[in-house]
């Protein structure tokens, strides 16, 4: 598993995950199903950030990581 997420991409994903968790925490009008979907997206965003690997980038040939020479 080759890392393909750079530092900026990593922080954006963490901020998005944190924001989604806060949204679910403070918005009581969301249904349970909607809350589950939002938390699943937040979990996936945080997981890919910590692993520094995004499987969706592979088929697209995208890498936001700076390669060291």
* Residue 41 counted as domain residue: yes
Is 35 strand, coil or helix? helix
- In-domain check, residue 1: no
Range of the domain at 13: 7-55
The tally of domains found in the chain comes to: 1
Asked if the structure places residue 66 within a domain, the reply is no
d(CA 22, CA 42): 10
24-53 burial: b if 16+ Cβ within 10 Å, else e: beeeeeeeeeeeeebbeebeebbebbeebb
User: Which pTM does this prediction carry?
Assistant: 0.87
> Model confidence over 1-51: pLDDT tens digits?
889 999 999 999 999 999 999 999 999 999 999 999 999 999 999 999 999
């Amino acid at each position: 598993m080759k890392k393909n997420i750079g530092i900026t991409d990593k922080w954006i994903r963490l901020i998005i995950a944190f924001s989604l968790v806060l949204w679910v925490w403070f918005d009581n009008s969301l249904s349970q199903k909607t809350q589950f979907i939002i938390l699943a997206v937040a979990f996936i965003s945080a997981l890919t950030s910590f692993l520094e690997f995004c499987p969706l980038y592979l088929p697209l040939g995208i890498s936001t990581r700076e390669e060291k020479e």
